[in-house]
Amino acid sequence: MADDPTRSALGALPPPPRLARRLVYLGTPAAAVPPLEALVAAGFDVALVVTRPDKRRGRRAEASPSPVKAAAQALGIPVTTDVAEAAGVGADLGVVVAFGQILRAELLSQLPMVNVHFSLLPRWRGAAPVERAILAGDARTGVAVMGVAEGLDEGPVYAEVAVDIDPAETADELRARLVAAGSSLLVDTLRSGLDAPVPQEGEVTYAAKITPADLELDWTLPATDLDRRVRVGGAWTTWRGERCKVWRAHVADVEVDGPPGAIAGTAVRTGAGALALVEVQPAGKARLDAEAWLRGARPGPDERFGA
Protein backbone atom coordinates (compact mmCIF):
# COMPACT_ATOMS: atom_id res chain seq x y z
CA MET A 1 0.00 0.00 0.00
CA ALA A 2 1.70 1.57 -0.78
CA ASP A 3 1.61 4.27 1.75
CA ASP A 4 2.59 7.89 1.41
CA PRO A 5 5.89 9.36 2.61
CA THR A 6 5.30 12.95 3.73
CA ARG A 7 7.95 15.62 3.55
CA SER A 8 8.21 19.27 4.54
CA ALA A 9 10.68 22.06 4.02
CA LEU A 10 10.81 22.95 7.72
CA GLY A 11 13.66 21.92 9.94
CA ALA A 12 11.52 22.20 13.10
CA LEU A 13 7.79 21.71 13.30
CA PRO A 14 5.44 22.41 16.20
CA PRO A 15 4.95 19.25 18.28
CA PRO A 16 1.53 17.66 18.23
CA PRO A 17 -0.68 18.04 21.28
CA ARG A 18 -0.40 15.24 23.80
CA LEU A 19 -4.11 14.50 23.57
CA ALA A 20 -5.98 15.28 20.37
CA ARG A 21 -9.71 14.87 19.91
CA ARG A 22 -10.52 16.92 16.81
CA LEU A 23 -8.78 15.56 13.75
CA VAL A 24 -8.28 16.06 10.04
CA TYR A 25 -7.77 12.80 8.17
CA LEU A 26 -5.71 12.62 4.98
CA GLY A 27 -5.87 9.42 2.94
CA THR A 28 -6.84 8.01 -0.43
CA PRO A 29 -6.77 4.24 -1.19
CA ALA A 30 -8.73 1.34 0.29
CA ALA A 31 -5.97 0.63 2.80
CA ALA A 32 -6.65 4.05 4.37
CA VAL A 33 -10.34 3.32 5.01
CA PRO A 34 -10.08 1.05 8.10
CA PRO A 35 -7.99 3.56 10.12
CA LEU A 36 -10.56 6.27 9.37
CA GLU A 37 -13.43 4.04 10.41
CA ALA A 38 -11.54 3.01 13.56
CA LEU A 39 -11.03 6.64 14.60
CA VAL A 40 -14.70 7.43 14.15
CA ALA A 41 -15.78 4.28 16.02
CA ALA A 42 -13.44 5.23 18.87
CA GLY A 43 -15.18 8.58 19.27
CA PHE A 44 -12.66 10.93 17.71
CA ASP A 45 -14.12 14.00 16.04
CA VAL A 46 -12.96 13.82 12.43
CA ALA A 47 -13.79 17.32 11.26
CA LEU A 48 -12.60 16.94 7.68
CA VAL A 49 -11.26 14.32 5.29
CA VAL A 50 -8.74 15.35 2.64
CA THR A 51 -8.27 12.99 -0.28
CA ARG A 52 -7.14 12.90 -3.89
CA PRO A 53 -9.47 14.02 -6.72
CA ASP A 54 -11.91 11.62 -8.36
CA LYS A 55 -10.35 9.60 -11.15
CA ARG A 56 -11.30 7.21 -13.91
CA ARG A 57 -10.67 3.57 -13.00
CA GLY A 58 -10.96 2.38 -16.61
CA ARG A 59 -10.59 3.80 -20.10
CA ARG A 60 -14.28 4.58 -20.59
CA ALA A 61 -15.43 4.71 -17.00
CA GLU A 62 -16.72 7.89 -15.42
CA ALA A 63 -14.60 9.48 -12.72
CA SER A 64 -15.22 7.82 -9.36
CA PRO A 65 -14.30 8.88 -5.83
CA SER A 66 -11.36 7.49 -3.94
CA PRO A 67 -12.19 4.74 -1.42
CA VAL A 68 -11.53 7.18 1.43
CA LYS A 69 -13.90 9.76 -0.05
CA ALA A 70 -16.64 7.16 -0.41
CA ALA A 71 -16.12 6.03 3.18
CA ALA A 72 -16.13 9.60 4.51
CA GLN A 73 -19.37 10.38 2.68
CA ALA A 74 -20.96 7.27 4.15
CA LEU A 75 -19.86 8.45 7.61
CA GLY A 76 -21.22 11.96 7.01
CA ILE A 77 -17.80 13.64 7.19
CA PRO A 78 -17.04 16.68 4.99
CA VAL A 79 -14.57 15.92 2.22
CA THR A 80 -12.20 18.11 0.23
CA THR A 81 -9.36 17.71 -2.22
CA ASP A 82 -7.86 21.08 -1.22
CA VAL A 83 -5.11 20.33 1.30
CA ALA A 84 -5.02 23.95 2.46
CA GLU A 85 -8.48 23.55 3.99
CA ALA A 86 -7.03 21.21 6.64
CA ALA A 87 -5.71 24.18 8.61
CA GLY A 88 -9.06 25.97 8.78
CA VAL A 89 -11.32 23.60 10.73
CA GLY A 90 -9.87 24.00 14.21
CA ALA A 91 -8.36 20.53 14.39
CA ASP A 92 -5.75 19.54 16.98
CA LEU A 93 -3.98 17.05 14.74
CA GLY A 94 -3.77 15.72 11.21
CA VAL A 95 -3.61 11.96 10.63
CA VAL A 96 -2.01 10.82 7.37
CA VAL A 97 -2.49 7.33 5.93
CA ALA A 98 -1.45 6.73 2.31
CA PHE A 99 -2.51 10.19 1.20
CA GLY A 100 -0.48 10.32 -1.99
CA GLN A 101 0.64 13.95 -1.95
CA ILE A 102 3.53 15.83 -0.38
CA LEU A 103 2.42 18.16 2.42
CA ARG A 104 3.88 21.63 2.26
CA ALA A 105 5.70 23.44 5.05
CA GLU A 106 3.00 26.09 5.37
CA LEU A 107 0.39 23.51 6.34
CA LEU A 108 2.66 21.55 8.65
CA SER A 109 3.54 24.72 10.55
CA GLN A 110 -0.15 25.28 11.26
CA LEU A 111 -1.36 21.73 11.89
CA PRO A 112 0.87 19.08 13.52
CA MET A 113 0.53 15.66 11.92
CA VAL A 114 1.25 12.01 12.49
CA ASN A 115 1.64 9.39 9.79
CA VAL A 116 0.80 5.67 9.87
CA HIS A 117 3.65 3.96 8.03
CA PHE A 118 3.71 0.27 7.16
CA SER A 119 7.23 -0.77 8.11
CA LEU A 120 9.58 -0.87 11.08
CA LEU A 121 11.41 2.40 10.58
CA PRO A 122 14.01 3.30 9.47
CA ARG A 123 13.75 0.21 7.26
CA TRP A 124 11.69 0.86 4.15
CA ARG A 125 11.04 4.55 4.27
CA GLY A 126 9.11 5.59 1.20
CA ALA A 127 6.26 4.66 -1.09
CA ALA A 128 6.17 0.85 -1.24
CA PRO A 129 7.28 -0.60 2.10
CA VAL A 130 5.04 -3.69 1.97
CA GLU A 131 6.15 -4.72 -1.50
CA ARG A 132 9.82 -4.02 -0.82
CA ALA A 133 9.78 -6.09 2.37
CA ILE A 134 8.48 -9.08 0.41
CA LEU A 135 10.91 -8.62 -2.48
CA ALA A 136 13.81 -8.46 -0.04
CA GLY A 137 12.74 -11.66 1.69
CA ASP A 138 12.29 -9.96 5.07
CA ALA A 139 11.07 -12.26 7.82
CA ARG A 140 9.15 -9.50 9.56
CA THR A 141 7.92 -5.98 9.12
CA GLY A 142 5.49 -3.84 11.08
CA VAL A 143 3.61 -0.60 11.35
CA ALA A 144 4.55 2.68 13.04
CA VAL A 145 2.78 5.82 14.16
CA MET A 146 5.34 8.52 13.49
CA GLY A 147 5.55 12.28 13.60
CA VAL A 148 5.66 14.13 10.29
CA ALA A 149 9.00 15.90 10.09
CA GLU A 150 11.45 17.22 7.54
CA GLY A 151 12.74 14.57 5.16
CA LEU A 152 11.38 11.34 3.79
CA ASP A 153 9.70 9.45 6.65
CA GLU A 154 12.35 10.71 9.07
CA GLY A 155 10.02 11.67 11.92
CA PRO A 156 10.25 10.22 15.41
CA VAL A 157 8.21 7.15 16.28
CA TYR A 158 5.44 7.30 18.89
CA ALA A 159 4.51 3.63 18.71
CA GLU A 160 5.14 0.59 16.57
CA VAL A 161 4.24 -3.08 16.38
CA ALA A 162 6.12 -5.87 14.60
CA VAL A 163 4.38 -8.33 12.27
CA ASP A 164 5.92 -11.58 11.01
CA ILE A 165 5.74 -12.16 7.25
CA ASP A 166 4.37 -15.54 6.23
CA PRO A 167 6.65 -16.99 3.52
CA ALA A 168 3.65 -17.67 1.28
CA GLU A 169 1.50 -14.58 1.77
CA THR A 170 0.94 -11.99 -0.91
CA ALA A 171 1.45 -8.26 -0.59
CA ASP A 172 -2.31 -7.76 -0.45
CA GLU A 173 -2.64 -10.28 2.38
CA LEU A 174 0.23 -8.76 4.33
CA ARG A 175 -1.08 -5.26 3.77
CA ALA A 176 -4.49 -6.26 5.14
CA ARG A 177 -2.88 -7.52 8.33
CA LEU A 178 -0.77 -4.39 8.66
CA VAL A 179 -3.78 -2.15 8.13
CA ALA A 180 -5.68 -3.98 10.89
CA ALA A 181 -2.71 -3.71 13.24
CA GLY A 182 -2.13 -0.09 12.29
CA SER A 183 -5.75 0.90 12.87
CA SER A 184 -5.64 -0.47 16.42
CA LEU A 185 -2.23 1.04 17.06
CA LEU A 186 -3.35 4.46 15.86
CA VAL A 187 -6.42 4.54 18.10
CA ASP A 188 -4.50 3.27 21.14
CA THR A 189 -1.69 5.75 20.60
CA LEU A 190 -3.97 8.77 20.28
CA ARG A 191 -6.03 7.65 23.28
CA SER A 192 -2.98 7.23 25.53
CA GLY A 193 -1.36 10.44 24.31
CA LEU A 194 1.54 11.40 22.08
CA ASP A 195 4.32 11.25 24.65
CA ALA A 196 8.10 11.12 24.18
CA PRO A 197 8.59 9.92 20.62
CA VAL A 198 11.70 7.87 19.94
CA PRO A 199 14.14 8.94 17.20
CA GLN A 200 14.66 6.36 14.49
CA GLU A 201 17.81 4.28 14.87
CA GLY A 202 19.45 1.72 12.61
CA GLU A 203 20.22 1.24 8.95
CA VAL A 204 18.05 3.29 6.62
CA THR A 205 16.58 1.66 3.51
CA TYR A 206 14.22 3.17 0.96
CA ALA A 207 11.12 1.64 -0.60
CA ALA A 208 10.90 3.09 -4.08
CA LYS A 209 7.68 2.73 -6.03
CA ILE A 210 7.26 -0.61 -7.75
CA THR A 211 7.81 -0.50 -11.51
CA PRO A 212 7.08 -3.10 -14.20
CA ALA A 213 10.80 -3.88 -14.28
CA ASP A 214 10.63 -4.95 -10.63
CA LEU A 215 7.95 -7.49 -11.52
CA GLU A 216 9.49 -9.05 -14.61
CA LEU A 217 10.18 -12.76 -14.15
CA ASP A 218 13.82 -13.12 -15.13
CA TRP A 219 14.11 -16.89 -15.28
CA THR A 220 17.86 -16.78 -14.67
CA LEU A 221 17.13 -15.72 -11.08
CA PRO A 222 16.50 -18.27 -8.31
CA ALA A 223 12.97 -19.60 -7.88
CA THR A 224 12.74 -18.02 -4.43
CA ASP A 225 13.29 -14.55 -5.92
CA LEU A 226 10.68 -15.13 -8.62
CA ASP A 227 8.18 -16.41 -6.07
CA ARG A 228 8.53 -13.11 -4.18
CA ARG A 229 7.80 -11.14 -7.35
CA VAL A 230 4.66 -13.15 -7.93
CA ARG A 231 3.56 -12.55 -4.34
CA VAL A 232 3.86 -8.78 -4.82
CA GLY A 233 1.22 -8.97 -7.58
CA GLY A 234 1.37 -8.24 -11.30
CA ALA A 235 4.44 -10.35 -12.11
CA TRP A 236 4.90 -10.95 -15.81
CA THR A 237 6.93 -12.77 -18.39
CA THR A 238 6.64 -13.31 -22.13
CA TRP A 239 5.19 -16.29 -23.96
CA ARG A 240 5.37 -16.55 -27.74
CA GLY A 241 6.30 -12.89 -27.92
CA GLU A 242 3.39 -11.59 -25.82
CA ARG A 243 3.20 -10.58 -22.21
CA CYS A 244 1.80 -13.18 -19.82
CA LYS A 245 1.07 -12.45 -16.17
CA VAL A 246 1.63 -14.93 -13.37
CA TRP A 247 -0.75 -14.36 -10.46
CA ARG A 248 -0.03 -17.38 -8.32
CA ALA A 249 2.93 -19.72 -8.13
CA HIS A 250 5.20 -21.46 -5.63
CA VAL A 251 8.69 -22.87 -5.43
CA ALA A 252 8.64 -26.49 -6.64
CA ASP A 253 10.85 -29.34 -5.49
CA VAL A 254 11.30 -30.77 -8.99
CA GLU A 255 13.97 -30.73 -11.66
CA VAL A 256 13.30 -29.26 -15.09
CA ASP A 257 15.67 -29.96 -17.96
CA GLY A 258 16.73 -27.24 -20.34
CA PRO A 259 17.64 -23.56 -20.04
CA PRO A 260 15.93 -21.08 -17.68
CA GLY A 261 12.30 -20.64 -18.76
CA ALA A 262 11.97 -24.25 -19.95
CA ILE A 263 8.66 -25.92 -19.07
CA ALA A 264 7.87 -29.35 -17.64
CA GLY A 265 4.17 -29.57 -16.87
CA THR A 266 3.37 -26.48 -14.82
CA ALA A 267 6.95 -26.18 -13.52
CA VAL A 268 9.40 -23.71 -15.03
CA ARG A 269 13.16 -23.93 -14.71
CA THR A 270 14.88 -20.98 -13.07
CA GLY A 271 18.45 -20.05 -12.27
CA ALA A 272 18.17 -22.17 -9.13
CA GLY A 273 15.27 -24.57 -8.71
CA ALA A 274 11.86 -24.50 -10.34
CA LEU A 275 8.74 -22.36 -10.04
CA ALA A 276 5.37 -24.10 -10.26
CA LEU A 277 2.71 -21.99 -11.96
CA VAL A 278 -0.75 -21.98 -10.38
CA GLU A 279 -2.63 -19.15 -12.07
CA VAL A 280 -1.65 -17.30 -15.24
CA GLN A 281 -3.16 -14.69 -17.53
CA PRO A 282 -2.20 -14.84 -21.20
CA ALA A 283 -2.27 -11.61 -23.20
CA GLY A 284 -5.82 -10.43 -23.88
CA LYS A 285 -7.45 -13.20 -21.83
CA ALA A 286 -8.83 -13.79 -18.37
CA ARG A 287 -6.93 -15.49 -15.59
CA LEU A 288 -6.63 -19.24 -15.98
CA ASP A 289 -5.66 -22.19 -13.88
CA ALA A 290 -2.14 -23.06 -15.04
CA GLU A 291 -3.11 -26.60 -16.01
CA ALA A 292 -6.00 -25.30 -18.13
CA TRP A 293 -3.66 -22.83 -19.82
CA LEU A 294 -1.17 -25.62 -20.46
CA ARG A 295 -3.79 -27.78 -22.18
CA GLY A 296 -4.65 -24.91 -24.51
CA ALA A 297 -1.14 -23.66 -25.17
CA ARG A 298 0.45 -27.07 -25.83
CA PRO A 299 4.07 -25.92 -25.53
CA GLY A 300 6.52 -27.42 -28.00
CA PRO A 301 9.63 -29.22 -26.72
CA ASP A 302 11.88 -26.22 -27.34
CA GLU A 303 9.49 -23.44 -26.27
CA ARG A 304 10.16 -21.56 -23.07
CA PHE A 305 9.07 -18.48 -21.13
CA GLY A 306 10.97 -15.28 -21.65
CA ALA A 307 12.39 -16.30 -25.03
Looking at per-residue pLDDT, the higher value among 40 and 108 belongs to 40
Is residue 155 in some structural domain? yes
Which domain, by its residues, includes 163? 22-207
The answer to whether residue 3 scores a pLDDT higher than 60 is no
CA distance 92 to 44: 11
What is the value of pTM for the model shown?
Answer: 0.90
Q: Are residues 195 and 223 in the same domain?
A: no
Residue 225, domain CATH = 3.10.25.10
Q: Are residues 180 and 269 in the same domain?
A: no
CA distance 181 to 175: 10
Q: Are residues 178 and 224 in the same domain?
A: no
Q: Are residues 203 and 216 in the same domain?
A: no
Vertex 58 angle, CA 56 and 64, to 5°:
30
* b/e per residue 145-156 (b: at least 16 CB within 10 A): bbbbbeebbbbe
The answer to whether residue 4 scores a pLDDT higher than 50 is no
What is the count of structural domains for the chain? 2
Residue type at position 303: E
pLDDT tens digits, 225-277: 999 999 999 999 999 999 999 999 999 999 999 999 999 999 999 999 999 99
Do residues 119 and 125 lie in contact, with contact meaning Cβ atoms separated by under 8 Å? yes
Q: Are residues 117 and 251 in the same domain?
A: no
Do residues 244 and 263 lie in contact, with contact meaning Cβ atoms separated by under 8 Å? no
What is the structure's pLDDT at 122? Answer: 97
Q: Are residues 223 and 199 in the same domain?
A: no
Is residue 15 in some structural domain? no
Is residue 89 in some structural domain? yes
Q: Are residues 91 and 134 in the same domain?
A: yes
Is residue 305 in some structural domain? no
Is residue 170 in some structural domain? yes
What CA–CA distances, in Å, run from 176 to 29, 30, 184, 214, 240? 12, 10, 13, 22, 36
Do residues 92 and 193 lie in contact, with contact meaning Cβ atoms separated by under 8 Å? no
Ranking 69-73, 83-87, 147-151 by mean pLDDT, the lowest is: 147-151
